[in-house]
Structure 1
Amino acid sequence: MDRWRHILRVTEELGDAVAGIRATEPGSTAAGLLASLDPAGMAKAAGECLDTLSTVRSRVNRGTVNLGVSGRARNGKSTLLQSLSGLDDRQIPSGRGQPVTAVRSKIYHSLTDRGARLTMHTERSFLEEVIAPYHAELGLGPAPRDLSAFARHLYPRVIDDEAAEGAARPTLGPMLARLREAQQALPSYRAYLTGEIRTVDLADIRDWVAYPEADAEPDRRLYLAVRDATITCAFPIEDVTALGLVDLPGLGELTPDAEEHHLAGLRNDIDFAIVVKRPTDTNAMWAREDADALQLIGRACAVADVRDFTLVLVNTGACLPENVTALHDDLRDRLNAASGDRGYWVILADGADGDAVREQVLHPVLDHLATALPRMDEVVIEDAIAVCRDRGERIGSDLDELSKTLRTLAVPTLTEQMIARAETLRAQVAASLQVWVEGLRGRADKDYEDEEFFERVAEVHAEVREWMLGGFGEGPEAWQERALSRFRVDRASLPFASAELNRIRVEMARRFSAVDDLLLQRRDEYWAGLVAGLGTRMVRLTNGHGPRPQDLMAAMAEALRDAPDPCPSLAETLDFALDVRLDYRTRVLPRLRRALDVLFPEEDDPRDGNAATTLLAVPRTAEGAAELFNRVTQLARQAAYDAQAVLAQEPGTTAQVLFAYGEQFEDAFVRSDSSEAEFRRLAAAFQDRLWPDEGTGPQAVTEGLRKVHRLAAELRTLIADERPRIAVERTGR
């Protein structure tokens, strides 16, 4: 069974793999060639083996010989069980009129234990196994999903004439009545729907296993909470140790799936079936319903001879002799005459007479089973072996056809697939980076004008000019008053003029640094374009780091360095790209400082006769202060003009720098001598992260075919292991 469970699991996985290929690429060659494969049929064959083996296991694993008592209601089934077990109406109810037994019970002989163990329904099993069949049979739609919904559900009072026509109406009407009774009585048993095993004294068992008596509370139906009942007591029979009695559900009861419940009990729980038939005035002939009952037992036997498995007990208790004779003759002439040389076993006995039942029924049955059980076991086991062999050969034949198909479909090896992925990724990255580099080339062209940068420079120059003409931050009058005051203190104009030129030069350099934001923006645009050029697949290396492009690049470099097989050259190239320096202090300030040299009080070379100090000496009067303001303003305006000219050259220079950086990055990342090898390492180390979307497209078909190959090989090995084992068991060698 373990082997066949394994086979079933592999066939189901094979079915999923084939279905995945068909769903991924419905029009592909692989999907077309696999269309004729029937994995569901293979799984069904394995399931049939498991069902057959499970029946064998249930049969040989029982610790008791179980006799099942079957028959239509009101034929003495419960009375026979009482005679065999020694129990009475308080434990195995019997009566006239409607059926009494509501729960299938198993009764076991025990000299030490006396009591009952009730396996209770859970809320879910109650709704699925008890209520849902009523809904299906009555055409009421899906069953309620919980008990509260069941309690609120509005059930019709009568069967819809359109839903039930003719003969169906008398059957469905009582079913609907039972369903409404179950709903009305819900408060009486709701608390017991726990799934637990409940121990009950035999004196209190009746309410749990029988329909209520006529004078009982109409809304009390505890039996609805019981899934199964097991009773233990001492049978009034000597020399009995391991004997069990199974009270099978009454045939002909108006409950959904009654026949299937009966069949399940016959197949799984018993070794021998006693069919009770009581010849009353209206029941003295062998009827269609009786024949159906034997046919049902035949279905349960499957391969064993039903005559080894079955006894027809004519219950003669309180019956007229002529009715007994009529039934006996009818069985001889109509049932057994049509059965060939070996007819059904028929015994006449009073089911209420314990002594007669023991002597005339039980003892002969046990004597029969002493020789019949081994015979039936052998047939059942032989059939199970034959079923497994047949299903194994069927699956093997399907695998042969699958192998022919797979041989026509070339599937790349894992190494080939990894190399192909690496080459494809490298080509994609190269193509995308080249598009990005071409964009950088266009910006570096001499005819390209960075309007945004020019506008920013003009904006900063205007702010500096306004600052100068507005009195260098304090107003012309205030500036001149401060100058005159300083003239008087120093008894000279040059100290103030020198200090003021120094202040203005430093402040102008600071104010022109306002273009730094645009320079940094160009660098960020460069990084963003580079990350986009690497592609979304490469970004998956970052595991969600970000969102800034430089953070993503740093995370990529770290992942490449820390890979099981590192990619140092690719990581170093990313580090190089992160080292782009495009800020104001690095790129602009050195050249801008030369433009501001005019604001030094003296030339660096004091031997130059054109020293600026000659322009700064003014009278120490108000008129001199005004003249000095005009001279300093002129120098500042000249410096601002020169600085603006320096900044106007920066967009082209910056673009050339970024283009050079981009070219170098693309060249090193794609074409270095280690690039090809490191892309393969990259593909191997991060394949799950880089290709998480392989559930679609041709790649998914390849993965699916590889899985089909593997599962087919595994299944073939399992089937091959099964065939020799069966052969050894059959021959005993």
Structure 2
Amino acid sequence: MVDNRTAQIASIIEKRQPLATKVEEVENNLQSLSSALHGLDQHRSQLLSQADDVETRGRLQEINLTTIQSEINTELAALSKLKTRFSRKTLNIGVIGRAGQGKSRLLQSLSGLSTDEIPSGDRSHCTGVRSTIHHNPGVETYGEVWFHSERSFLNEIVSPYYEKLQLGSRPFTLEEFARNPLPELPRQFAGQAEPGAMYEHLRKYHVNFDKYKHLLREASPQRISKQQIREYVAQDTPDGQRIYFNYLAVQEAKIVCGFPNTDVGQIALIDMPGLGDTGLGDAERLMNILGQDVDIVLFVRMPRPPRDFWADVDVKLYDTARSSLVDLPIHLWSFMVLNRTSAHSSIGDNFVYCEELISTHKTSHIDVVECITASCADYEEANQKILDQILDYLMQNVTALDKQYASACQDRLNRLHSTTALELEKAKKALGHGLQRDSWFPVFIKLFNKLWNDLTVGLEGLLRDLRWQRDAQDADFKDQVNAALQACREDTGIPSLEEIEIRRDSEGSYNIAYNKYLHEIRAYLSQHFLSLDSGLKRSLENIKSQVVDILSDQGRLGTLTDAKGTDFLNAIENLMPEDLSRLRLGFHILSTFELSYRGLIQHRIRRHLDRLTPDETPLQLSKSPSAQEILVSLQTLHAEALYECEAALDELLCEPSQAAYAIVEEFVDRILRAEGVKDDWQIFLEEIRSEIWSTEFEKLGENSRLRREWLNSVERALSANQFDLVNFLN
């Protein structure tokens, strides 16, 4: 039974993890959508300030992105909760109850901890910190505490009081909070219990600030021993003295211990002080925790004689918990624990009052999975009647609850996707469809035909020149080759006689020194040829620039970008619609074409360096070698290798010219000669006609540009609003 339950809980947790990853991906995608919509809305505002057409202004004003952004923020918060829930390594049981109801006694019975670690009392809350108690068998009990930083203390603790109690401007630094007296409680709250209790709690933070302020600068988490736990989570000592103030600086505490009931697996109990006690002002923060860190809620209530009933404070506590997670009805993941007392207790046997509350809880609109009557102080009853039943319910239902929770969130995301798509569809049509074709098309056709002829003449002329020159040596490449050869002659890397003698003594042998020098001289020589790469690239870039000049001038594409060379080709390709694949291919082929030393030359000259390899060299040392012999041999081998490399390179001087002709001819084939490519040019230029021929289409120029930029903004938002990007449930 133990292994079975433990394994089931572990399996449930393991199955949650992949979903957490998917939720995180959707969360990131939703943030991208928000960013795209923000940019689109800014663009809309800019157009509204420029548009002089009443209909256009009306269509722009109808686009409502503000509501969508608000919904996105809501869904991001919901996804964060969902991700936290599915990322957890434990199934968590949250325990809620007003002071004196038996909440701490129940936690003690379930965890095996004592009043030293979990304070209990009958009059008010002794626990001051939200604590998570983890089951980890076989370890000695210890705690970890996370302290507030200055920012979190001011934002999460102090600011909410100032806002709720209308105390004016909140302090922005710890020093400001400590130095200045608290503002008086506004008159409209005079005599009201809850605001008064909240004000007193804030005053406790203020009056005792010096007693805990040092902890706000401590590193977190801080590990503490079992004996220290009470000092950080409790408000009083075991004998009731309220002298502890560390808890005011603690954001969260974790207690690790072995539960008496070992049949629990990866389970954690969460003590939730602050819910149900008006003296603690952090109920909203704890509600957020309840919504993302708790799988099952236990409400703890102790019925008292002479007659007890569900009071307004009970209903309010239930409603507070219910509102923490609207996607999952609270009655599906909560139990009511009615703390039964014995006849020997101070209030006697309260069984009849427990039964009375059970019979009336639904009429008071307190709906839970089940009401459980058990003694919170009795170890056996707490574990057998309460914990076992809770764990069994979790194992049977938590997967279905997770699915219901996730589905509710996914349904809202689907609606958000649809709503966004509708607004973006309105945005696509906001600037209309441009001018009627009949009014400008005849002019465009005449201009297009002239551009086509000019572009064809220019590129065919360049290709003809390159054909005549393809067997000629490339001047740029030849200059680079000569420079590399000269560097090889002047900077040989060959050692002096003195250096050879030192190397011989270091290696212990002329032969060893000679063989190592061969490797080094070969590497030194080949390094000089690496500079040929820049010559090849310069030659090719020069050819690309000649093509770009024709495209820019005769093709009039220079009006679209200030880029030059390869960057120009990339820019024009990116401006072309995706469906003009034939035209885009031509630009892509030319822009990505490269000549490199490693691809064109390296393999052709490496063979001539073999004589500088110890196993291949034709010059072996004599039986009685000397430094002079090594020097002469190295000089001879270097000169011979360089001679052969020079001869090989001389045969390659035409390669750049031949490659230039080949790639330009391929480019011309793709963008001028391929079937249907003239139609592609017409489609492309028709869309941007007012920028290509700004004088002829002066009025259209600005409108066309604005419309294209607007549609680009819309397209970015549409891309971010793809259904699969906001879908984490298959």
1:248 pairs with 2:272: yes
Aligned with residue 324 of structure 1, among 351, 371, 387: 351
Identify the residue that residue 715 of structure 2 maps to in structure 1. Answer: 713
Q: Is the 8 A contact 2:335 2:372 kept in 1?
A: yes
Q: CA deviation at 1:25?
A: 5.3
Q: Is the 8 A contact 1:314 1:324 kept in 2?
A: no
Taking the TM superposition and a 5 Å limit, the aligned residue runs for 1:74-93 are 74-93=100-119
Q: Is the 8 A contact 2:414 2:726 kept in 1?
A: no
Aligned with residue 264 of structure 1, among 283, 288, 305: 288
1:237 pairs with 2:261: yes
Classify the secondary structure of the residue corresponding to 1:237.
coil
1:180 pairs with 2:203: yes
Counterpart CA distance in 1 for 2:357 and 2:237 is 35
Identify the residue that residue 371 of structure 2 maps to in structure 1. Answer: 346
Classify the secondary structure of the residue corresponding to 1:227.
strand
Distance 1:306 1:680, change over 3 A: closer
Counterpart CA distance in 2 for 1:192 and 1:31 is 57
Q: Is the 8 A contact 1:138 1:172 kept in 2?
A: yes
Counterpart CA distance in 1 for 2:704 and 2:33 is 19
Q: Which has the larger radius of gyration?
A: 1
Counterpart CA distance in 2 for 1:283 and 1:26 is 70
Aligned with residue 358 of structure 1, among 367, 380, 383: 383
Q: Is the 8 A contact 1:45 1:391 kept in 2?
A: yes
Q: CA deviation at 1:316?
A: 1.1
Structure 2 residues without counterparts, runs of 5 or longer: 1-22, 436-443, 448-541, 569-699
Task: Give the AA of the match of 2:166.
Answer: G
Counterpart CA distance in 1 for 2:272 and 2:362 is 24
Q: Is the 8 A contact 1:284 1:324 kept in 2?
A: no
Distance 1:379 1:180, change over 3 A: closer
Q: CA deviation at 1:291?
A: 1.9
Q: With structure 1 as the length reference, what TM-score do the two structures score? A: 0.56
Identify the residue that residue 582 of structure 2 maps to in structure 1. Answer: none
Q: CA deviation at 1:274?
A: 0.8
Distance 1:257 1:21, change over 3 A: farther
Counterpart CA distance in 2 for 1:213 and 1:371 is 41
Q: CA deviation at 1:684?
A: 5.8
Counterpart CA distance in 2 for 1:710 and 1:313 is 59
Classify the secondary structure of the residue corresponding to 2:202.
helix
Distance 1:175 1:700, change over 3 A: farther
Structure 1 residues without counterparts, runs of 5 or longer: 411-415, 420-561, 570-673, 688-697
Counterpart CA distance in 2 for 1:124 and 1:83 is 37
Taking the TM superposition and a 5 Å limit, the aligned residue runs for 1:19-168 are 19-23=42-46, 26=49, 28=51, 29=53, 32-113=58-139, 114-156=141-183, 159-161=185-187, 163-167=188-192
Q: CA deviation at 1:679?
A: 8.7
Distance 1:184 1:237, change over 3 A: same
Counterpart CA distance in 2 for 1:4 and 1:704 is 32
Task: Give the AA of the match of 2:266.
Answer: A
Residues 304-328 of structure 1 deviation map (CA, whole Å, 9 limit, x = unaligned): 4533311111101337567431342
Q: CA deviation at 1:118?
A: 0.6
Q: CA deviation at 1:246?
A: 0.4
Distance 1:679 1:133, change over 3 A: same
Q: CA deviation at 1:76?
A: 0.9
Identify the residue that residue 651 of structure 2 maps to in structure 1. Answer: none
Counterpart CA distance in 2 for 1:181 and 1:55 is 31
Distance 1:250 1:160, change over 3 A: closer
Counterpart CA distance in 2 for 1:343 and 1:182 is 36
Identify the residue that residue 310 of structure 1 maps to in structure 2. Answer: 334
1:196 pairs with 2:223: no
Identify the residue that residue 665 of structure 2 maps to in structure 1. Answer: none
Q: Is the 8 A contact 1:396 1:716 kept in 2?
A: yes
Q: Is the 8 A contact 1:84 1:358 kept in 2?
A: yes
Q: Is the 8 A contact 2:235 2:242 kept in 1?
A: no
Distance 1:310 1:701, change over 3 A: farther
Q: Is the 8 A contact 1:248 1:265 kept in 2?
A: no
Counterpart CA distance in 2 for 1:98 and 1:141 is 30
Distance 1:565 1:11, change over 3 A: farther
Classify the secondary structure of the residue corresponding to 1:336.
coil
Count, aligned residues: 461
Identify the residue that residue 405 of structure 1 maps to in structure 2. Answer: 430
Identify the residue that residue 600 of structure 1 maps to in structure 2. Answer: none
Task: Give the AA of the match of 1:719.
Answer: N
Task: Give the AA of the match of 1:180.
Answer: R
Q: CA deviation at 1:373?
A: 1.2
Q: CA deviation at 1:86?
A: 0.7
Identify the residue that residue 10 of structure 1 maps to in structure 2. Answer: 33
Q: Is the 8 A contact 2:101 2:300 kept in 1?
A: yes
Task: Give the AA of the match of 1:244.
Answer: A
Q: CA deviation at 1:215?
A: 8.1
Task: Give the AA of the match of 2:208.
Answer: A
Counterpart CA distance in 2 for 1:131 and 1:96 is 28
Q: Which moved more, 1:349-358 or 1:174-183?
A: 174-183
Q: CA deviation at 1:701?
A: 9.4
Q: Is the 8 A contact 2:296 2:334 kept in 1?
A: yes
